[in-house]
Amino acid sequence: MQYARTKNGSTFIIQCSADYKGNDIAKLKIGGGVPGFMERCVANQTCVAVSLKKWMCNLESRKGGAASKSGDVDSAVLTKRVKIDVGEEGVEETEEED
C-alpha cells in the first residue's frame, strides 16, 4: 500500500482505480493537485476520503462502496486526521484515528 501525508501530519492510503460514488460532500477544482485536495479533506470534519479524476476532486463522506475504475479515477482514504485547535492557550495539535 502507498501512503501520503499532509503538511500537518494527517495520513491517507492511496487507492488506485477506485471511486466512492454517491458519497460526495463537495466537488472541487483547485490548484495544488493531490496534496491540496487532501488538505481540503482534512479541514472538512465530515470528509473521510477524496476521489480524484484529472484535476477534479470529490470530497467523500463515506469510504464504503468503492467502485473499480480503469485507471481514470484514484482515491485517497483518510487514516489519521491531525487537526489544529486554536483556544485560549494558543495552538494545540490533536490527533484523531479514522
The residue among 82, 83, 81, 86 whose CA lies nearest residue 98 is: 81
Whole-model pTM over 0.75: no
The model's confidence at residue 11, banded by pLDDT at 50, 70 and 90, is very high
- The CATH classification number of 2-97 equals 3.50.4.10
Q: For 28-50, write each residue's pLDDT tens digit.
A: 886 667 778 888 899 899 999 98
By percentage, how much of the chain surpasses pLDDT 90? 10
Question: What is the torsional sign of CA 98, 7, 57, 59?
Answer: positive
Q: Using an 8 Å Cβ cutoff, are 49 and 22 in contact?
A: no
Mean local confidence (pLDDT), 20-31: 80
